[in-house]
């Protein structure tokens, strides 16, 4: 078991969404990870990525395979992690993933 405060080296990178190539894959992961009542409809999700206060960060393996994503809303005084999901086939592989909780980061 990994102890709190430990540094874990995982084979992933976190970077911005490529709207041309990543969006459909991210949306598929969202549909896989969340019940329909907890996801945005496809067209609304597509509109959100154009908003300046909404961003999606992609979790990719060093081989550039999309493993998951983090969707963040930027508010004037805090950032809200709206969605965090890992592709079902990549969960539980002892790659250093932890079950996230909703996060509020005060700035």
**Distance, CA of 21 to CA of 38 (rounded, Å):** 24
> Taking every pair of C-alpha atoms in the chain, what is the biggest distance, in angstroms?
42
Q: How many CB atoms lie within 10 A of CB 68?
A: 23
Rounded to two decimals, the pTM is 0.72
Pairing of strands 104-106, 12-16: unpaired
Note the CATH architecture for domain 12-91.
3-Layer(aba) Sandwich (3.40)
In the chain, what are the domain boundaries? 12-91
The tens-digit pLDDT sequence of the chain (107 residues) is: 556 665 555 566 778 888 778 899 999 999 999 999 999 999 999 999 899 999 999 988 777 788 899 999 999 999 999 999 988 887 765 544 444 444 444 43
Strand order in the sheet with 12-16: 12-16, 54-61, 66-74, 78-86, 104-106
Look at the block and give the residue holding tokens 């539980």: 92
């Amino acid at each position: 078991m990994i102890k709190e405060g430990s540094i874990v080296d995982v084979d992933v990178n976190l970077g911005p969404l490529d709207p041309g190539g990543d969006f459909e894959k991210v949306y598929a992961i969202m549909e896989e990870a969340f019940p329909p009542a907890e996801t945005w409809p496809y067209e609304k999700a597509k509109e959100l990525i154009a908003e300046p206060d909404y961003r999606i960060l992609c979790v990719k393996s060093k081989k550039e395979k999309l493993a998951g994503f983090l969707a963040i809303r930027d508010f004037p005084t805090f950032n809200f992690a709206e969605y965090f999901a890992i592709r079902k086939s990549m969960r539980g592989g002892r790659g250093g993933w932890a079950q996230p909780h909703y996060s509020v980061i005060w700035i």
